[in-house]
Amino acid sequence: GQQLNQSPQSMFIQEGEDVSMNCTSSSIFNTWLWYKQDPGEGPVLLIALYKAGELTSNGRLTAQFGITRKDSFLNISASIPSDVGIYFCAGQLAGGTSYGKLTFGQGTILTVHP
Amino acid sequence: KAGVTQTPRYLIKTRGQQVTLSCSPISGHRSVSWYQQTPGQGLQFLFEYFSETQRNKGNFPGRFSGRQFSNSRSEMNVSTLELGDSALYLCASRIGAGNTEAFFGQGTRLTVV
What residues 32-61 of chain B have any CB closer than 8 A to a CB of chain A? Answer: 33, 35, 41-43, 45, 48, 50, 55-56, 58
Residues of A in contact with B56 (CB under 8 A): 97-101
Chain A interface, mutation test: which of B10, B99, B103, B109, most A Cβ atoms within 10 Å?
A: B99
* Gap between the Cα atoms of B52 and A76, Å rounded: 39
A101–B31 C-beta distance less than 8 A? no
Distances (CA, A) of A30 to A59, A112, B76: 24, 32, 27
Residues of chain B found within 8 Å of residue A90, distances taken between Cβ atoms: 43, 102
Q: Which residues contact A40 (CB under 8 A, 6 or more apart)?
A: B106, B107, B109
* pLDDT tens-place string over residues A16-43: 999 999 999 998 988 999 999 998 899 9
Per-residue model confidence (pLDDT) at position B47: 94
Q: What is the pLDDT of residues B39-89, one digit of tens each?
A: 989 999 999 999 999 999 999 999 999 999 999 999 999 999 999 999 999
Q: For residue B27, give the amino acid letter.
A: S
As a whole number, mean pLDDT of residues A78-103 equals 88
pLDDT exceeds cutoff 60 at B99:
no
Contact list in A for residue B4 (CB cut-off 8 A) is 42
So what's the pLDDT on residue B98? 67
Lowest mean pLDDT segment, chosen from A91-95, B21-25, B39-43: A91-95
- DSSP states of B55-91 as a string? EEE-S--TTEEEEE-TTS-EEEEE-S--GGG-EEEEE
Predicted pLDDT of residue A73: 97
The pLDDT score that the predictor gives to residue A96 is 65
| Sequence letter at residue A94 | A
Q: Under an 8 A CB cutoff, do B55 and A44 touch?
A: no
Instruction: Let me know if A88 is exposed, middle or buried by CB neighbors in 10 A (0-12, 13-18, 19+).
Output: buried
List the single residue in A33, A103, A104 with the smallest CB-CB distance to B101.
A33
Output the pLDDT for position A100: 81
Q: Do A48 and B101 touch (CB under 8 A)?
A: yes
Q: DSSP for A48-67?
A: EE-STT-EEEETTEEEEE-T
Cβ atoms B91, B6 nearer than 8 A: yes
Contact B99 A31 (CB under 8 A): yes
